[in-house]
Structure 1
Amino acid sequence: MSTVVHPRSVLSQHGIRRDSRRVPEAQRRGEELRRNREELLERLFSSLTRRDQRVRGEHYLRGLMLAEGRKSVRNIALSLGLPDEEQRLHHFICGSTWDWAPMRAAHAGFLDRLRPPEAWVLHPVTIPKDGEHTVGVDRFLDPRTGRIVRGQRAFGAWYASTALSAPVNWKLFMPRHWMEDEAVRKRAEIPPALAYGSVEQCAADAVLEAARDWGTPRRPVLMDLRGEVNRQSVRRFVTAGLPVLARTTAAGRFVVDDPALLPRSGGLTMSAASALDLGKSARRRVDWADPGGSGGVRTSWVATIRVRLPEEERVGQDRPLVLFGEWRPRQDTPAQVWVTDLAGTAPEDLLKLTKLTRKVALDLRIGADRTGTRDFVGRSFCGWHRHMTLASAAHTMRVLALHGGR
């Protein structure tokens, strides 16, 4: 298990004592980290009016970064050397009344200043759970693995750029039986105003809530239509004025609407793979930096073709669309197929945007998962949201520490 780097260890990590010539640069980075850390803490906890809440918030955030293994309240308290704080920290997360929404908006505002996002990435997360009482637990088919699992379904709205990605909003899908049993709702502390919504609604709301309520910049939404998010969600984003870049299947049906390729057909319905095959001769080579951390440069071939949705799916969708295909070297079939209303965007720029989903998946696995995004165990709906809010901020803090504040 890798060791979490605490901000205070960053200067020694960069070898200040061993090489005096690096002192000015290391000191500058250390000072930048300190300023960013203080700004993030100030923004996060500005909505907490009580000093004891701010203290508990900082303790919990630091414990998420320091605790080894599962980020339970007990492990967090022990990692801080404050075992007597366990009950107070538990109350702060599960029994307090502070609102997580202002804290999430503050986190997004900090990231927007530090690393302006290039896109929203809507990322589903399956959180396996063995017990029956953890909030939102159910048995369901995991669309990523094709297996029946027991656990929670959550959706994270990530602020993503090539330099940094972090989750800033979360939605937890609540199955119908959790929402319709008043006794269960009361035990789980589900807010009375919260109504049942489908998986698709829950997913889209993770982005739409933030875009609507926080005054965030207009950014395209990257999403995956192969799983539990469907084209209804695309229409919701379009209605909200958010461009969409959605991964789809090669078998998805579209109407080719490209006069350069089918000048006399008036539109022909076919699979995405067949439509892209029409424009295969116009493919262009694009070299791209792998966001997976290897630092290597990879090569893909890309092409776009103008399409529209079939008539039965066009309600509310009047923007021009393009299919975007990516081929790997020496492959005849596209490795990825996307549909987007960013019709005027160059193919190489579309490719760069799609790689942000790769960045988010990696950062979830080696970053946010290590600050506790899958570790909350409890009945409290509000507790889950408060924990996820601080786990997301801990992810950002950890990334800043690892990269010297940059």
Structure 2
Amino acid sequence: MLDGRRKSIQPMAERLPDGNMQALQQFVSQSPWDHAPVLRQIAGKMTSALGPEAWVIDDTSFPKSGDQSVATSRQYCGALGKRSLCQVGVSVHAVTDQASSPLSWRLFVPPDWDDRNDDRRRRTGLPTQVGHVEKWRLAIETLEELISWGLAPQVVVADAGYGQSAAFRHALRSRDLDYIVAVRGDETAHRHDAEPEAPAYRGAGRRTLPRYRTDSVALYELAAAGGRRAFRQVTWRQGSRGAMRSRFRVLQVRPAGKIPRALAAADAGGSAAWNGILPSETLLAEWPPDASAPTDYWLTSLPPDTAIRRLVRLAKIRWRIEHDYREMKHGLGLDHFEGRTWRGWHHHVTLVTAAHAFLTLRRLDPKVEAPA
């Protein structure tokens, strides 16, 4: 939290009175302290202070100049806007319109780090039991961790990188977690009154799963049906430039996507529980006044009679996580860590999370005087 542009170990140590870089290096990169109990304490304290309205999931990239840091690979790097060498961290944040805070993190391990004979795994201390897992699965693991810590589940919010996955939405439903997630307009679905039919069983082989007799259509077509008159104006919060408002529509749809039968069966408690049909969901669509067609879409497990202002507030609340990432990177050095180890990366993001939590609590403290 001190002044200084770089927040890697050497420049930070040089700004301390004793300048003991070796001690700081040892504490962050080699010391065996467990980061999980620290994050658990931070998560509990911040949840009590914030009273979150949602848990927001996202991921952020850490650009690297070489491929020897743990889980570094050539992949899409959001910080640079292109494919480049980087690490990617998945995080879950407690969020309100006024404040937010990261609760826990997962480091994404790319497929090229799965080779157990890769010498990089040994040098970086990557645990043998850790391998490549899709980002949406890391998010689910993190949510399960938060619940195991005794935190009350909140509505899960995520961008289309997660929302497009029918498997991710199914995993949330199977855990009784409500969600509102962004999707693309070309995602297909059936109208709410479409009914799947199962072909008659002929007494041999596996039963054929039910199927729809009508073709699915893109969400943008379903949303645009009825024109602008089907949309209503909603104001969801006050921004720095005044009231934030746009036009929205809510309707029920039946998503046309599929998820692996084995995944569905595992979550549902057996293959007999899965009929191959995704459950109906509520579609929220936005058609700004200055646009020629709807522009943004969200699917949610919340019922269609949920107040539309609440749906819009939750869908739009994801802006807070971008604020967190910006503050943690620009002010606290989230992406400045130059160590290479699995332990060091987790220690670093935990310490940055603690610093961010401290600053957030200071801002929320009514006794703190505003700067002149």
Report the TM-score, using the length of structure 1 for normalisation.
Answer: 0.75
- Cα distance in 1 between the residues matched to 2:79 and 2:163: 9
Matching residue's letter, 1:308: R
Does residue 376 (structure 1) correspond to residue 337 (structure 2)? The answer is yes
Provide the residue aligned with 2:51 in structure 1: 116
Choose from 189, 197, 214 the match for 2:133: 197
Task: Quote how far apart the aligned CAs of 1:324 are.
Answer: 0.4
* Superposition RMSD in Å: 2.6
Choose from 244, 254, 264 the match for 1:308: 254
Structure 1 contact 134–379 (Cα < 8 Å) conserved:
yes
Provide the residue aligned with 1:159 in structure 2: 94
* Cα deviation code 1:178-211 (max 9, x no counterpart): 2324432221111233233234323433333323
Does residue 185 (structure 1) correspond to residue 116 (structure 2)? The answer is no
- Cα distance in 2 between the residues matched to 1:162 and 1:279: 32
Relative to structure 2, which stretch is displaced further, 356-365 or 223-232? 223-232
Matching residue's letter, 2:216: T
Structure 2 contact 255–280 (Cα < 8 Å) conserved:
no
- Cα distance in 1 between the residues matched to 2:163 and 2:79: 9
Choose from 10, 29, 32 the match for 1:97: 32
Q: Percent identity?
A: 26
Provide the residue aligned with 1:400 in structure 2: 361
Matching residue's letter, 1:151: C
Matching residue's letter, 1:197: V
- Cα distance in 2 between the residues matched to 1:148 and 1:196: 19
- Cα distance in 2 between the residues matched to 1:198 and 1:88: 36
Does residue 328 (structure 1) correspond to residue 288 (structure 2)? The answer is yes
| Aligned-partner SS, 1:391 | helix
| Structure 1 pair 227–274 and aligned structure 2 pair: CA distance change class (3 A) | same
Task: Quote how far apart the aligned CAs of 1:161 are.
Answer: 0.9
| Aligned-partner SS, 1:167 | strand
Task: Quote how far apart the aligned CAs of 1:398 are.
Answer: 2.0
| Aligned-partner SS, 1:83 | coil
Report the TM-score, using the length of structure 2 for normalisation.
Answer: 0.81
Task: Quote how far apart the aligned CAs of 1:296 are.
Answer: 2.1
Structure 1 contact 319–341 (Cα < 8 Å) conserved:
no
- Cα distance in 2 between the residues matched to 1:351 and 1:314: 31
Does residue 354 (structure 1) correspond to residue 315 (structure 2)? The answer is yes
Task: Quote how far apart the aligned CAs of 1:75 are.
Answer: 2.4
| Structure 1 pair 145–350 and aligned structure 2 pair: CA distance change class (3 A) | farther
- Cα distance in 2 between the residues matched to 1:364 and 1:279: 39
| Aligned-partner SS, 1:66 | coil
* Cα deviation code 1:113-162 (max 9, x no counterpart): 11111111111112211122222111013479762221111111111111
| Structure 1 pair 132–145 and aligned structure 2 pair: CA distance change class (3 A) | closer
Structure with a larger share of its residues in helix? 1
Provide the residue aligned with 1:34 in structure 2: none
- Cα distance in 1 between the residues matched to 2:104 and 2:145: 8
Alignment of 1:214-363 (within 5 A): 214-226=149-161, 230-258=165-193, 269-278=216-225, 280=227, 281-290=229-238, 294=240, 296-310=242-256, 312-313=258-259, 316=264, 319-343=279-303, 344-363=305-324
Q: Where do 5+ consecutive residues of structure 1 fail to align?
A: 1-64, 260-264
Matching residue's letter, 2:192: D
Task: Quote how far apart the aligned CAs of 1:355 are.
Answer: 1.8
* Cα deviation code 1:23-60 (max 9, x no counterpart): xxxxxxxxxxxxxxxxxxxxxxxxxxxxxxxxxxxxxx
- Cα distance in 1 between the residues matched to 2:226 and 2:101: 36
Matching residue's letter, 1:252: E
Structure 2 contact 70–121 (Cα < 8 Å) conserved:
no
- Cα distance in 1 between the residues matched to 2:166 and 2:238: 29
Structure 1 contact 156–169 (Cα < 8 Å) conserved:
yes
Q: Give the length in aligned residue pairs.
A: 333
Q: Where do 5+ consecutive residues of structure 2 fail to align?
A: 195-211, 265-276
Structure 2 contact 88–107 (Cα < 8 Å) conserved:
yes
Alignment of 1:33-72 (within 5 A): 65-72=1-8
Relative to structure 2, which stretch is displaced further, 144-153 or 329-338? 144-153
- Cα distance in 1 between the residues matched to 2:111 and 2:353: 27
Structure 2 contact 70–120 (Cα < 8 Å) conserved:
no
- Cα distance in 1 between the residues matched to 2:252 and 2:78: 29
Matching residue's letter, 1:222: V
